[in-house]
Structure formats: structure tokens, C-alpha cells
Amino acid sequence: MSQKRKSFLLLAMAGLLSAQTPPPPAAAKETAIDPKPASGIQEFVIGPLDILYVHILHEPDMTGRVEVGPDGMISLVLAGQFRAEGQTAQQLSDAIKERLKATIRTPEVSVQVVQVNSRKFTLQGEVRKPGTYPFSAPLTVLEALAEGQGFTDWANTKKIYILRKGVRMNFNYKDVSKGKHPEENLIVQNGDEIFVP
């Protein structure tokens, strides 16, 4: 094989390898709207009417689904009542484990949230699927609108607004979806009502 051909093959292979190397990830754009991450990294906090699965190793009578009452409490056989509202699954698991130490030698307890009923937002107006939607991780207004599966032909996407505890906040979908006015793309809070006129 000639020297020219070897050089050509080496250059071609180097070009192929560099084409297969993915570009470095773009730096995340930060906004100063809300310090909470929109990725759902923070742990979910249990609320009233959430459904939990409590598993206590080697204790089938104490294992199963439990609904958090409207008062934020759950009740377990042999362990009594616990305040679940305002706690993460790990915090509740630790509290149950601590109380069970009086009756079980080394209790192994795990708690999982299997259904979220405590955090909801409402989509109304000119969306294909209006309704009330539960959410467990932080989400933006843009992400919440996606739950409505698109707009109807009559939707005025420049005049969308969010009602939060009696305060009206405007949201221009056309602008926000093009990267303009990111401050309008708020983190949705429990009880928010999003209207698409």
C-alpha cells in the first residue's frame, strides 16, 4: 500500500471518528424566576388524598396501599396514626420504622407514593382536553399546557392567563414557545387555573 493511500485512509478514519463523537452539551440557560428545579430532582412532599404503598418486610398484615386522609394522617395496624402530609416518603418511612422498633426487632420499612392526588392544576377553555391534572414534579406552564393535547382552532394563544389565589398572570404561548419572555413560563403551583380563551 502506498504512502499516499495510507495517509488518505488515516485521515478518512479520523474524520469518521470525529463525526461520531457527540458535541459537548450546551450550557443550561438559567433564569431567575424560581429557584426550584423544573426537572423534578427535589423529593415529592406527600399531601392529603395521596395513595401510598407501605411495605414492612416480613409483615404482610401491615403491608399495603394506604390513602392519606383529608387531615393528612395515615393509620397502620400495630403502629397507629402518622402525619404523612408535609413529609417525603423517606421521612415517613423513618418515622414508621422508629415507632415499630417497640414491637419489631429490626423493622425494614419502605414507603412509595403510588398516586398523587394532592397537587392539581386545571386547564380550561380552548384546549383539546380540558380538565384537572395531578402533578408530582415541578412543571412549567408550557409543560402544563401540553397536558391539554393541543389547542382548538379558536384558541387565542397570545391571551392565555393563569389564576393563582385570585391573581391573574398573563402568558403568551406564541412568544414563550419562541424563547421570548421566559419570565411568563412560571412553575405551576397547586390549585393554579390555566385559561385558554
Q: Mind listing the pLDDT tens digit for each residue in 30-61? A: 333 333 333 333 578 999 999 999 999 999 98
User: How crowded is the C-beta side of 93, counted as CA atoms within 13 Å?
Assistant: 18
Cβ atoms of 108 and 129 within 8 Å: the answer is no
What is the model's pLDDT at position 78?
80
What is the model's pLDDT at position 23?
45
Closest alpha carbon to 196 in 179, 178, 171 = 171
**Angstrom distance (rounded) from CA 32 to CA 15:** 41
What is the model's pLDDT at position 77?
86
**Which residues neighbour 13 within 8 Å (Cβ) at sequence distance 6 or greater?**
none
What is the model's pLDDT at position 138?
84
What is the model's pLDDT at position 43?
77
Ranges under pLDDT 70 in the chain: 1-42
**Which residues neighbour 135 within 8 Å (Cβ) at sequence distance 6 or greater?**
116, 119, 120, 121, 144, 188
What is the model's pLDDT at position 44?
85
What is the model's pLDDT at position 1?
52
First to last CA, the chain: 72
E strand spans, the chain = 51-56, 64-67, 73-76, 80-83, 109-115, 120-125, 131-134, 160-164, 167-171, 193-196
Could you give all domains of the chain from N- to C-terminal order, each with its CATH number? 51-115 (3.30.1950.10), 120-196 (3.10.560.10)
